[in-house]
């Protein structure tokens, strides 16, 4: 994935796409920060799964900012956040639709033998391990609660 960011930055610079350049630079800066944190903690640099998690976090931050800008009548800033979201999402794998998410949740619940809310952590951990970057875990959490509460 790191090579993908480097390639995207070079292409954006050649095309003169300022928004894409700044967004890819934001991604690489966040990635470097996380690598430095990992290094000081004596861990390995981030792998692709952790990078996907980082990208999801960046998307969520921008969605929250976009909502705030829209509520405060700042459409130009909301549009900028939307453009950044689209650019970041271009590095993510295809997102699962609701039916695929539901099916994955059912499978993990059956595998883990989850019977109630006390097992929600097990189900979430298994989903994050298998579907990092492909699933919105905020929405998945609500679906898991509904299924475990019966």
Instruction: Find all residues with CB under 8 Å of 4, minimum gap 6, and list them.
Output: 91
pLDDT tens profile 92-124: 888 888 889 889 999 998 998 888 888 888 989
- CATH number for 2-89 (one of 1.20.1250.20, 1.10.1510.10, 1.10.3720.10, 1.10.10.10): it is 1.10.1510.10
Mean pLDDT (the chain) is 91
- Distance from C-alpha of 39 to C-alpha of 28, rounded to nearest angstrom: 16
CATH number of 98-149: 1.10.10.410
Distance of CA 113 to the CA centre of its chain: 27
| Tally of CA atoms within 13 A in the half-sphere of 100 that contains its CB | 8
- Distance from C-alpha of 40 to C-alpha of 58, rounded to nearest angstrom: 23
CATH 1.10.10.410 occupies which residues in the chain? 98-149
User: Does residue 25 contact residue 15 with C-beta atoms inside 8 Å?
Assistant: no
- Distance from C-alpha of 143 to C-alpha of 113, rounded to nearest angstrom: 17
**Prediction pTM value:** 0.73
Instruction: Find all residues with CB under 8 Å of 8, minimum gap 6, and list them.
Output: 20, 24, 91
Residue with tokens 């579907």: 131
Closest CA to 57 of 79, 89, 82: 89
Closest CA to 137 of 99, 82, 96: 96
Residue 36 has a pLDDT of 93
CATH 1.10.1510.10 occupies which residues in the chain? 2-89
Strands, E assignment, 8-105: none
pLDDT tens profile 53-103: 899 899 999 999 999 999 999 999 999 999 999 999 999 888 888 889 889
């Amino acid at each position: 994935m790191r090579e993908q960011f480097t390639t995207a930055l070079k292409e954006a610079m050649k095309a003169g796409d300022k928004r894409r350049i700044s967004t890819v630079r934001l991604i690489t800066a966040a990635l470097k920060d996380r690598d430095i944190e990992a290094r000081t903690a004596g861990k390995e640099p981030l792998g692709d799964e952790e990078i996907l998690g980082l990208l999801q976090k960046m998307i969520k931050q921008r969605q929250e900012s976009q909502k705030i800008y829209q509520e405060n009548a700042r459409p130009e800033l909301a549009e900028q956040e939307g453009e950044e979201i689209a650019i970041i999402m271009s590095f993510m794998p295809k997102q699962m639709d609701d039916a695929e998410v539901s099916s994955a949740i059912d499978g993990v619940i059956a595998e883990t033998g989850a019977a109630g809310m006390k097992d929600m952590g097990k189900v979430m951990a298994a989903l994050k391990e298998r579907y990092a970057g492909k699933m919105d875990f905020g929405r998945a959490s609500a679906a898991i609660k509904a299924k475990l509460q019966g």
